């Protein structure tokens, strides 16, 4: 399991709970990296905590703006030395993606840019409501082409599209949210998959939140390890 990367979604503004999540998911059997989204980053103590992080983490801000604003946002994150991954939205367009990737090379050569495609809370019906004419799979593949053109490092998509993307783009980092342990509720997610099935679809890593952090975190982590070992 050493070659499998797990990102645990620290979806809370409670600093004590975040510390608990990090401590109780750390183990020597599989690599688990904390992922921080808007909820924690916007919290009063969250930003300060990330400045002092001693371990690699993913900052999931899903930047989506005009190129100059996007790269200015990156400038404000220069002090987060252990930030290894940052997310931007594919809908920001090719020029924004290029600008962000170029900027990261200047501020942190180890920072990986992951491009968010269609959120896992959306489906074909949702896309039609927004105004898209393509179905989820075709839109994800279209957005993956932007990742290639921009030289960004990888893509965030559901595990249901991962194999399709992998067949075309062999060297992409492919990270998949919408992951649930067998028997867990899907909640607000539309396109979900179990960890084991996701890795069968050639993903580089998975994001798992509620299945790990709700209830007994140590027991949930053991459930995850047992599931992957079957």
186-213 per-position pLDDT tens digit: 665 656 789 999 999 999 999 999 899 9
Q: Any idea what the CATH number is for the domain that residue 50 is in?
A: 3.20.20.70
Query: Nearest-5° angle of CA 143, CA 145, CA 149?
Result: 120
Full-model pTM: 0.91
Q: What is the pLDDT of residue 88?
A: 97
Average per-residue pLDDT in the chain?
A: 92
Say whether 84 is catalytic.
no
Q: What is the pLDDT of residue 29?
A: 86
Q: What is the pLDDT of residue 189?
A: 60
- Cβ neighbours of residue 215 under 8 Å, at least 6 residues apart? none
Sign, Cα dihedral of 3, 35, 56, 171: positive
Q: Which domain holds residue 119?
A: 5-229
Domain count, the chain: 1
Is 25 a residue whose pLDDT tops 90? yes
pLDDT band at 118 (very low <50, low <70, confident <90, very high): confident
Q: Tell me which of 4, 62, 103, 160 is the catalytic residue.
A: 62
189 or 41: whose pLDDT is higher? 41
Is 28 a residue whose pLDDT tops 90? no
């Amino acid at each position: 399991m050493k070659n499998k990367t797990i990102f645990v979604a620290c979806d809370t503004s409670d600093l004590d709970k975040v510390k608990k999540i990090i401590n109780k998911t750390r183990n020597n059997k599989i690599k688990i990296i904390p992922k921080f989204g808007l909820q924690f980053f916007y919290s009063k103590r969250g930003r300060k905590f990330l400045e002092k992080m001693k371990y690699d983490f993913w900052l999931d801000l899903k930047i989506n703006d005009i190129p100059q604003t996007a790269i200015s946002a990156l400038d404000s994150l220069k002090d987060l030395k252990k930030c290894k991954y940052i997310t931007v939205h594919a809908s920001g367009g090719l020029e924004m993606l290029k600008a962000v990737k170029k900027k990261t090379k200047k501020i942190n050569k180890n920072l990986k840019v992951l491009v968010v495609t269609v959120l896992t809370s959306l489906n074909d019906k949702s896309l039609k409501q927004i105004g898209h004419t393509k179905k989820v799979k075709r839109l994800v593949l279209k957005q993956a082409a932007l990742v290639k053109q921009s030289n960004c490092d990888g893509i965030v998509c559901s595990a249901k599209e991962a194999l399709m993307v992998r067949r075309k783009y062999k060297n992409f980092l492919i990270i998949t949210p919408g992951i649930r342990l067998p028997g867990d509720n899907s909640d607000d997610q539309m396109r979900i998959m179990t960890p084991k099935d996701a890795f069968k679809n050639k993903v580089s890593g998975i994001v798992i939140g509620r299945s790990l952090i709700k209830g007994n975190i140590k027991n949930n982590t053991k459930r995850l390890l047992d599931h992957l070992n079957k």
